[in-house]
Amino acid sequence: MTLLDGISASEALKNNIAEQVRTMQAQGLRLPKLAAILVGSNGASLSYVGNKVKMCEAVGFESALIELPENVSQESLLKEVDKLNSDPHVDGFIVQLPLPAHIDAQKITEAIDPHKDADGFHPANYGRMALNLPANIPATPLGILRLLSHFGVPTEGKNCVIIGRSQIVGSPLSILLARNAQPGNCTVTLAHSKTHNLKDLCLSADIIVAALGKPLFLTADMVTEGATVIDVGISRLPDSTRKSGFRLVGDVDFDNVAPKCAYITPVPGGVGPMTVAALMLNTLEAALRNRNQ
CA atoms within 13 A on the CB side of 97: 9
Categorize the per-residue pLDDT at 289 as very low, low, confident or very high, splitting at 50, 70 and 90.
confident
Strand order across the beta sheet in which 33-39 lies: 62-68, 33-39, 92-95
* pLDDT digits 0-9 by tens, 102-137: 999 999 999 999 999 999 999 999 999 999 999 999
* pLDDT digits 0-9 by tens, 226-257: 999 999 999 988 888 888 888 889 999 999 99
pLDDT of residue 50: 84
Cα separation of 97 and 123, whole Å?
16
Is 33 catalytic? The answer is no
Is the pLDDT confidence value at 31 over 80?
yes
Among residues 14, 33, 52, 158, which one is catalytic?
A: 52
Is the pLDDT confidence value at 29 over 60?
yes
Q: What percent of the chain has pLDDT over 90?
A: 88
Mean pLDDT of the chain: 95
| Cα radius of gyration rounded to whole Å, the chain | 19
Is the pLDDT confidence value at 82 over 80?
yes
Is the pLDDT confidence value at 279 over 80?
yes
Strands (E), 122-182: 159-163
Strands (E), 72-231: 92-95, 159-163, 187-191, 207-210, 227-231
Other Cβ atoms less than 10 A from the Cβ of 27: the count is 8
Is the pLDDT confidence value at 46 over 90?
no
Q: What is the DSSP letter of 252?
A: B
- 264 closest CA partner among 215, 210, 203: 210
Among residues 14, 33, 96, 253, which one is catalytic?
A: 96
Q: Summarize the confidence of residues 207-228 as an average pLDDT.
A: 97
68 in Cβ contact with 39 (< 8 Å): yes
Cis peptide leading into 273, omega within 30 of 0?
no
- Pairing state between β 246-249 and 235-238: antiparallel
* pLDDT digits 0-9 by tens, 259-268: 999 999 999 9
pLDDT of residue 240: 81
Is the pLDDT confidence value at 42 over 70?
yes
Categorize the per-residue pLDDT at 292 as very low, low, confident or very high, splitting at 50, 70 and 90.
low
Cα separation of 44 and 235, whole Å?
11
Q: Work out the angle at residue 146's Cα, subtended by the Cα atoms of residues 141 and 150, and round it to the nearest 5 degrees.
A: 150
pLDDT of residue 258: 98
Is 52 catalytic? The answer is yes
Tell me if residue 73 falls in helix, strand or coil.
Answer: coil
C-alpha dihedral, 73 to 75 to 81 to 85, nearest 10°: -170
Is the pLDDT confidence value at 65 over 90?
yes
Q: Domains along the chain? A: 30-113 (3.40.50.10860), 139-273 (3.40.50.720)
pLDDT of residue 8: 97
Is 116 catalytic? The answer is no
Among residues 91, 117, 119, 206, which one is catalytic?
A: 119
Q: What share of the chain is helix, strand, coil (3-state, %, to 5)?
A: 45, 20, 40
Is the pLDDT confidence value at 293 over 60?
no
Categorize the per-residue pLDDT at 34 as very low, low, confident or very high, splitting at 50, 70 and 90.
very high
